[in-house]
């Protein structure tokens, strides 16, 4: 009997140890609810500090050898791995299979149904259909996955930047320019939901634009053109969208605090973590000003040289949501290793918990079915390529 009890005790102890070893570490985040909004206060150290990611290149589309792709501008990928690339020169969507083989073109240049005058971002809707904007024609075109034209929606105003879309609506960032002497500097930014015919359904609110400095360039025939430059690291709104959950992430990037909006435009969660701003150095200022030394006019150069530089950098230049609903927050933290520059990116779970901080020498674009896709410009030829990578995680 004692032997049986001893064996049973050892077995129970073994199960406890297995459960303890396999149990996911508990986050030290502090969560509180205030006025119906969940606040997730994360610690400075992620839940999985050893977690890392690498991107292994598998496929490249474009370049001199790709005759079917002239001037790629935007792209998307469906769940089957087919790649849809908007070709600005041909004003058509070029479709490639998962092996990079050209399949077909969708649309063409023109003003008729299913045609484009200023082709925009292709978007795969939840039902699999393809949604493509044409801002110049103020029209949205809808196609079946195989390229068959379905219908168009004509808007009474020019669409803004698409954040996400469903079968019946789309959420867009929309700039409204001022009517004074400096309309670019006086512009306002709103996020709104529209039905597919361009009727406003709801307004998420007004958001913060980058600070702009403008310069009026005189023309030989009279008059002038207003040229604007964003003040480096001026606080402004950044967005990321989770199309599957219809969530919108927003961060005014002078502090590490991210708002999450539901499909009805209500903030239901705020996410934060401790963060020490990085200094904006003299080398940073020199790099910014050098961009305008060769290609800028004298008036533009003078304006840039006289522009006051910030003391610190903002938190993030960009956020994105991967296929699992994780939020990636790119930072300005960098380090060099073996002639490569690595950038730090914070990863938060769909519930807002700070899970990992990864260092990447390749900045991600979009994630689909375990793969990552991004644009890459060849330094020697200047060609813009779409590349696919295998995502490899380690802990």
Residue 100 located in a structural domain? yes
What's the average model confidence in pLDDT over 221-235? 78
pLDDT of residue 17: 44
pLDDT of res. 224: 63
Query: Whole-angstrom Cα distance, residue 169 to residue 178?
Result: 27
Instruction: In whole angstroms, give the CA distance from residue 208 to residue 198.
Output: 23
pLDDT bin (cut points 50, 70, 90) of residue 188 is very high
Asked whether residue 288 is domain-assigned, the answer is: no
**Average of per-residue pLDDT across 291-307:** 80
User: Is a pLDDT exceeding 80 seen at residue 178?
Assistant: no
pLDDT at 22 over 70: no
pLDDT at 391 over 50: yes
Closest CA to 249 of 283, 227, 272, 230: 272
Is the pLDDT at 245 greater than 80, yes or no?
yes
Mean pLDDT of 189-202: 94
Residue 379 resides in a domain: yes
* Residue 334 structural domain: 28-278+313-394
Is the pLDDT at 305 greater than 80? The verdict is: yes
Q: What is the pLDDT of residue 26?
A: 66
- Whether residue 307 lies inside any domain: the answer is no
Tell me the pLDDT band of 228, cut-offs 50, 70 and 90: confident
Question: What local confidence, expressed as pLDDT, does residue 292 receive?
Answer: 83
Count of structural domains, the chain: 1
| Confidence at residue 11, expressed as pLDDT on a 0 to 100 scale | 42
pLDDT in tens, 24-75: 556 689 999 999 999 999 999 999 999 999 999 999 998 777 778 888 889 9
| Backbone dihedral angles phi then psi of residue 49, each to the nearest 5 degrees | -65, -20
Q: Considering the domain boundaries, does residue 137 fall inside one?
A: yes
287 belongs to a structural domain: no
* DSSP per-residue string spanning 44-112: SS-SSTT-EEEEEEEEEE-STT-TT-SSEEEEEE-TT--EEEEETTTTEEEEE-TTS-EEEEE-EESSS
Instruction: Give percent of the chain above pLDDT 90.
Output: 65
- Please indicate, yes or no, if residue 74 is contained in any of the structural domains: yes
pLDDT of residue 223: 60
Mean pLDDT of 147-175: 92
- 219 inside domain: yes
pLDDT at 47: 96
Classify strands 366-368 and 108-109 as parallel, antiparallel or unpaired.
unpaired
- pLDDT-derived band at 112 (thresholds 50, 70, 90) equals confident
Long-range contacts of 294-298 (CB under 8 A, 24+ apart): 297/215, 297/217, 297/227
Residue 236 sits in a domain of what CATH number? 2.120.10.30
């Amino acid at each position: 009997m004692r032997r049986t009890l001893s064996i049973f005790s050892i077995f129970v102890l073994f199960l406890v140890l297995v459960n303890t070893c396999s149990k996911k570490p508990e986050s030290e985040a502090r969560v509180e609810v205030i006025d119906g909004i969940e606040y997730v206060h994360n610690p400075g150290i992620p839940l999985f500090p050893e977690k890392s990611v690498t991107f292994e290149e598998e496929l490249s589309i474009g370049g001199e050898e790709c005759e079917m792709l002239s001037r790629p501008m935007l792209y998307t990928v469906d769940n089957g791995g087919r790649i849809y690339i908007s070709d600005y020169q041909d004003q058509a969507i070029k479709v490639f299979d998962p092996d990079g083989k050209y399949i077909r073109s969708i649309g063409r240049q023109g003003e008729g149904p299913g045609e484009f005058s200023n082709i925009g971002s292709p978007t795969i809707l939840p039902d699999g259909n393809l949604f493509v904007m044409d801002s110049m024609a103020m029209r949205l075109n809808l196609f079946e996955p195989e390229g068959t034209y379905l219908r168009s929606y004509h808007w009474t105003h020019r669409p803004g930047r698409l954040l996400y879309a469903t079968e019946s609506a789309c959420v867009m960032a929309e700039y409204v320019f001022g009517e004074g002497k400096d309309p670019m500097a006086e512009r306002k930014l709103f996020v709104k939901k529209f039905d597919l015919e361009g009727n406003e359904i709801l307004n998420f609110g007004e958001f913060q634009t980058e600070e702009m400095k403008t310069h009026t360039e005189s023309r030989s025939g009279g008059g002038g053109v207003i040229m604007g430059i964003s003040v480096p690291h001026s606080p402004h709104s950044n967005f990321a969208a989770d199309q599957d959950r219809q969530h919108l992430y927003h961060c005014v990037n002078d502090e590490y605090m991210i708002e999450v909006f539901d499909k009805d435009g209500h903030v239901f969660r705020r996410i934060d973590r401790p963060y020490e701003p990085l200094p904006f150095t003299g080398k940073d200022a020199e790099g910014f000003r050098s961009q305008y030394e060769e290609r800028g006019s004298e008036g533009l150069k003078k304006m840039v040289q006289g522009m006051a530089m910030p003391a610190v950098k903002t938190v993030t230049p960009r956020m994105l949501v991967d296929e699992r609903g994780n939020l990636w927050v790119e930072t300005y933290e960098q380090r060099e290793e073996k002639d490569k520059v690595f950038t730090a990116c914070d990863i938060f779970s769909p519930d807002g918990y700070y899970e990992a901080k990864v260092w990447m020498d390749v900045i991600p674009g979009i994630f689909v079915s375990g793969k990552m896709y991004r644009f890459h410009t060849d330094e020697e030829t200047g060609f813009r390529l779409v590349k696919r990578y295998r995502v490899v995680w380690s802990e």
